[in-house]
Amino acid sequence: MMLKSKYYLIVALVLFFPQIGKALDMPAGGLAMPTSANELASMEGVSAQAYIVEDVNTGQVIIDKNSNQAWPPASLTKLVTALVVLDEKVPLSKTVAMTSADQTLGACTLGGACIKAKPGVKFTVDGLFHAALLPSANNAAAALAQSTGLSMDQFVAKMNQKAADLGATGTHFNEPTGMDPANQITAVDYAKIVTAAFSNNYLRGIAGLTSYALRSTNNSRYNQTIKNTDKLLTDSDIQILGAKTGYLDEAKYNFASLMKYNGQELAVVVLGEDHLYTAFDETKLLAGLAGVAQILALTNPVGQVLGTSTVASAN
């Protein structure tokens, strides 16, 4: 993948030929060298309100900014909904009738993302998983929650317990769709959540589909083809293992992914992007900068750590 970074060759040269590093300490007009991974991302123009790149196998934070800042997850909420339904061991073949409450919670008449449905139309739990994760259907997520037989309060309590069990201590949910802007996550928390979700083979299998033929079990007029909102899935530069998009006016665009890149398994979370395409572009950029950042840490004479949890400049 071609990145706009100038630093791959420069950093490698500094590492293996220290005298070049001295030569690069030039007056104004020369190439300024970043002193940390966070500064590197800032110099490359990453504009998300918060982000994190984490090595999944080591738990090392490679790059981050504002990663402990609370942020509305929007539809990133749905991965925790999915994990709770799996924990409840609801049979995938179980049929669930859509209710008016599901339609209302999904804001289906107000512009919320929803599959074509009405009260009484039935889908399997398996179909609802696909609908909640691929096109991010709010009514499907609400129906998944009700498939467990739990009350909404009980289900949400299990969502919050699931987050806590994963170590996501700065996370709180009020409902299962993501439509409530009072739901809160942090980038560092969500790296744990996206890793857990797509370490599950079933959820990873769904996330790997570009489209799915959703079928109603009792009304063929509601058979429909649904599509994955993750546009990086077909990008040949990276191997996406699973990803989720999210949008609310209050959150802007969020994107979280588990991927393999340059031999590393990375969790990359970007929050508060102005555009969805920016979320995709900056995810790719951050993944590419991870290797540069790790070399940079070796070149720093004071042993600079990679990412930090401190609030970085928002410019």
Does 25 score more than 90 pLDDT?
A: no
The span from the CA of 147 to the CA of 300, in Å, is 53
pLDDT-based confidence at residue 33 (cuts at 50, 70, 90): low
The span from the CA of 74 to the CA of 71, in Å, is 9
- Give the tokens for residue 277: 């395409």
One-letter amino acid identity for 15?
L
User: Among 136-140, 175-179, 210-214, 291-295, whose mean pLDDT is lowest?
Assistant: 291-295
The span from the CA of 35 to the CA of 98, in Å, is 54
Share of the chain above pLDDT 90, in %: 74
The span from the CA of 50 to the CA of 314, in Å, is 9
Q: What integer pLDDT is reported at residue 208 of this predicted model? A: 97
| Residue positions annotated with a catalytic role | 75, 78, 136
Architecture of domain 74-180+201-227: 3-Layer(aba) Sandwich (3.40)
Say if residues 188 and 309 touch (Cβ distance below 8 Å): yes
pLDDT-based confidence at residue 154 (cuts at 50, 70, 90): very high
Say if residues 294 and 55 touch (Cβ distance below 8 Å): no
Q: What integer pLDDT is reported at residue 35 of this predicted model? A: 65
- Give the tokens for residue 273: 């992007």
Sign of CA dihedral 182, 186, 189, 194: positive
The span from the CA of 192 to the CA of 171, in Å, is 11
Q: What integer pLDDT is reported at residue 268 of this predicted model? A: 98
- Give the tokens for residue 181: 């802007």
Structure confidence by residue, pLDDT tens digits, 157-211 = 999 999 999 999 999 999 999 999 999 999 999 999 999 999 999 999 999 999 9
Structure confidence by residue, pLDDT tens digits, 72-120 = 999 999 999 999 999 999 999 999 999 999 999 999 999 899 999 999 9
Non-local (6+) Cβ contacts of 129 within 8 A are 82, 85, 92, 140, 144, 202, 203, 206
Mean pLDDT of 212-239: 96
Q: What integer pLDDT is reported at residue 22 of this predicted model? A: 44
Does 254 score more than 80 pLDDT?
A: yes
User: Among 11-15, 85-89, 95-99, 268-272, whose mean pLDDT is lowest?
Assistant: 11-15
Comparing CA positions, the residue from 47, 225, 223 lying closest to residue 121 is 223
Tell me which range, 211-220, 230-239, 302-311, is most confidently predicted by mean pLDDT: 211-220
The span from the CA of 133 to the CA of 128, in Å, is 8
Does 7 score more than 70 pLDDT?
A: no
Q: What integer pLDDT is reported at residue 3 of this predicted model? A: 45
The span from the CA of 208 to the CA of 252, in Å, is 24
